[in-house]
Amino acid sequence: MSLERYGLLKAIGDDLRRQYTALSLLVWFLLSAVGLVFVTHHTRLLTMQQAALVNEQYRLDSEWRNLILEEKSLSDPDRIEALAKEKLMMQPLELQQEKVVKRSL
């Protein structure tokens, strides 16, 4: 054991430095743990939001395909001709009923 003498201020300073180091490590540890929890929570929220958006995309794609099919079936020329004959009582023109209009300049 050494007989070296320490001054009171030096002993207090050494104790504070050791305590400050341990305390600062504890604070940094707690801050990093809280940050990790926050980032994990935020990541899970974003993952759930992404899953909801993917489901919405699938639903909209399905609706789009159904609308395309509906448009094709409604714009079928045979269907339009049948509706014109049935509801509007229209008939195809005969050759003698046609009139050609020429535009003069």
Compute the average pLDDT of residues 99-105. Answer: 86
Confidence of residue 96 (pLDDT cuts 50, 70, 90): confident
Q: Answer with the residue of higher pLDDT: 36 or 83.
A: 36
pLDDT reported for residue 68: 96
pTM of the model: 0.55
What are phi and psi for residue 3, nearest 5 degrees? -100, 20
pLDDT tens-place string over residues 53-90:
999 999 999 999 999 999 999 999 999 889 899 999 98
Report the chain's mean pLDDT, rounded to a whole number: 89
